[in-house]
Amino acid sequence: MWLLLTAFAAMIVTALWYVNAPADKYKLGFLSLIFWGATIMWLVDHVIAYVDEGGAFFEVNAEATGLALSVLVLGLFVWLVRLLLSDPKRLLRSVLKQ
């Protein structure tokens, strides 16, 4: 399930990035790379586990959904920290100067 949700999030963020390109003001390209990296990592993990152990390719249960949501939240958190550090609207700098 985490592979499916992460791939879905990666596709949505990539589409949003593409619509706003080339002005990547909100660093959606960075978020897209986070989600695509996680998607590729889990695709390789699923393929290797399927070849070695067999069984179901996709795991759909509450634990897998919880893991997928926590990974999405962590990716969004890392992106938010990156966004705040770049401060595209110069809000933090104006607040810190006061």
In tens, the pLDDT along 4-28 reads: 999 999 999 999 999 988 888 889 9
Q: 91: buried, middle or exposed (CB in 10 Å: 19+, 13-18, 0-12)? A: exposed
Query: What does the block give as tokens for 93?
Result: 């700098």
Bond before 88 cis per omega within 30 degrees: no
Q: What is the pLDDT of residue 24?
A: 84
pTM summary value: 0.85
9 touches 79 (CB < 8 A): no
Q: What is the pLDDT of residue 21?
A: 84
The Cα–Cα gap between 32 and 35 comes to 5
Within 10 A of 62 (CB to CB), how many other CB atoms are there? 8
- pLDDT one-digit tens code per residue, 24-72: 888 999 999 999 999 999 999 999 989 999 878 888 899 989 999 999 9
